[in-house]
Chain A
Amino acid sequence: MIQVSGLIKDYGARRALNNISFDANQGEIVGFLGPNGAGKTTAMRILTGYMPPTDGTVTVAGYDVVEESLEVRRRVGYLPETVPLYTEMTAVEYLKFMADLRHIPNAEDRAYETLESVNLQDRANSYIGGFSKGMRQRVGLAQALIHRPEVLILDEPTIGLDPNQVVEIRELIREIGKDRTVLFSTHILPEAQLICDRVLIINKGRIVAEDTPENLQSRLVGAQRVVLRVRGDADGLDTTVRKVKGARNVETKPDETVEFEFSSGQDIRPQIAKAVVQAGYELIEMRAVGMSLEEIFLELTRDNPSGKKSS
């Protein structure tokens, strides 16, 4: 549905996107993850036909975003980061206007239907100016959905919402993503983990990683981290652990647990357990902790990425 290859965008002398390539298929929810200023919005603006790329080819639903911009725009629903609303219109007037721009027959009926799909039918005839942030976001989403687009592009759709609203919007995105291509950006990692089929991590105009949330985790983590807990004091426990061959990065945490790592493929947990018990501790817990996407993200977006980089 979306094909991006060698995409470059310069703003004057500043290179906002540096040779980006990725695909997104039908029925796939792809998350664009990255810190502010990474180039997420720029990439989305190019995909929606708002601005042309400096170089590279971008096709959406088989149409080139530069050559066949109008065809692309007909097939894309877009929710920009600042939700674009006419506050002096009612929700239904606004959606009817958008439906008219998209030549939808029975625009008014469609406006009401779409408001229902975002759960705003009760406020159809209220002015948008009086809406809460969450309601505005939903009107914005309704606008992006009004023409039942094949591709939906959402720029930070959950930003500034309260937790209940975030859950609602996420469910809506998941629902929509069943039969459409959804590309959405976020800088909240668990969100990407929750909704996406695939995550693209973007930083400083480059894609630094691309995979399913699960694979990203296991692929990028070359080591397994384990937490140890014993009954009573953990004094000297770290020394005991360090003595076991293969244990690395041993740390005593403030909550009297000890964490250590071992390389994947050489599981030293039995040796550790034996050593701990032999040293006289009562072992009550030994648990593997996955490196969170958060840590992976930090790792990847650091100024000098370590050897774990993958793309």
Chain B
Amino acid sequence: MRNIWTIAKREYDQYFIGPIAYVAAVLILFVLGVFFAIDLLQFQQYAFQDLSGFLNTEREINLLPFFFIFLIPALTMRLVADENRTGTMELLLTAPLRDWELILGKWTGGFLFVLTIILATLIYPIILNSMVDPGIDWRLLASMYLGVILVAAAFLGLGVGISAVFSNQIAAFIVTFLTFVFLYWVVGFPANLPITGGGVFGYLSMSNHFSDFTQGAINLGALVYFTSLTILGLFIGTLSIEVRRWR
């Protein structure tokens, strides 16, 4: 536990050294802010100054997974590649640290960083809450944010795993990005075709699960789905480090 935290803390601090963290946070907050402003104006026009029909920031929250599809590969691509380049991987692999602790620590650092950005986007529902009467549906909002957090967790897990397999940053980025695009949408396409077993593809599609959360539906299947993907990614990462040792 302590080792995971030590690795995570260094990793988290690392994000704030370069410009990536600030650029990503500012970009996400800005785009969400633009959407939010447009929504506010439109509702004011249609509802004649009454905002009570505009009860949540679903449209804004729906944007977050799109950002993650680009942002998270950029965050995870250097996790292992950088350590290899500077030789610090040798340091970590000869420290009294299990391989899975290293991988889980890196994931935790990235997760806490993305969580920071996610929490910053809460300003929009908070603003909305102060403008509408009787206030927004906080339980629905919690469900939506749980969905966002689970998407981030699964993406980061896969990103860490893929970055451990590829020691080249560009390769890691491209493979991670394509994996996300595939998992989020592409895999779900056959579900709409008149074929038997199409439901399996529907279950594999991440956007399907995410939209359940945005509708306020938290089901066990979705929780299992996201947790499994996260663990799969971390498992691939650990295995890849172990294989590296034996080579």
Residues of A within 8 A of B (CB): 11, 45, 48-52, 70, 73-74, 76, 78, 80, 82-88, 97-98, 100-103, 143
Contact = CB atoms under 8 A, between A and B. Distances in A.
18 contacts: A50-B245, A51-B247, A52-B245, A70-B96, A70-B97, A70-B98, A73-B94, A76-B94, A78-B90, A80-B87, A80-B91, A80-B94, A84-B89, A97-B10, A98-B91, A100-B6, A101-B6, A103-B2
Contacts of A52: 245-246
Contacts of B89: 84
B contact residues, range: 20 to 34
A86 B86 contact: yes
Which of A45, A50, A76 has the largest count of B CB atoms less than 10 A from its CB? Answer: A50
Contacts of B97: 70, 73, 101
A103 B7 CA distance: 13
Contacts of B93: 49-50
Contacts of B246: 51-52
A269 B224 CA distance: 90
A299 B2 CA distance: 52
Nearest to B14: A88
B42 interface: no
A74 B94 contact: no
Contacts of B45: none
Contacts of B88: 84-86
A78 B91 CA distance: 8
A87 B94 contact: no
Contact of B95 (A45, A51, A102): A102
A33 to B, nearest CB: 22
Contact of B94 (A49, A86, A88, A103): A49
Contact of B91 (A51, A84, A103): A84
A50 B10 CA distance: 22
A100 B95 CA distance: 11
Interface string B1-25: 0110011001000100100000000
Interface of B: 2-3, 6-7, 10, 14, 17, 86-91, 93-98, 245-247
Given A73-B94, A88-B14, A100-B6, 16 more contacts: A11-B247, A51-B246, A70-B96, A73-B95, A73-B96, A78-B90, A78-B91, A83-B87, A84-B88, A84-B90, A85-B88, A86-B88, A87-B86, A88-B17, A97-B6, A98-B91
B14 A98 contact: no
Contacts of A74: 96
Contact of A84 (B3, B86, B98): B86
Contacts of A100: 2, 6
Nearest to A78: B94
Contacts of A86: 10, 86, 88
A86 B87 CA distance: 9
A49 B94 CA distance: 6
A74 B94 CA distance: 9
Contacts of A101: 3, 6-7, 95-97
B86 A85 contact: yes
Given A88-B14, A101-B6, A103-B2, A48 B94 contact: yes
Closest 4 CB pairs of A and B: A82-B87, A84-B91, A84-B88, A84-B87
Which of B3, B94, B98 has the largest count of A CB atoms less than 10 A from its CB? Answer: B94
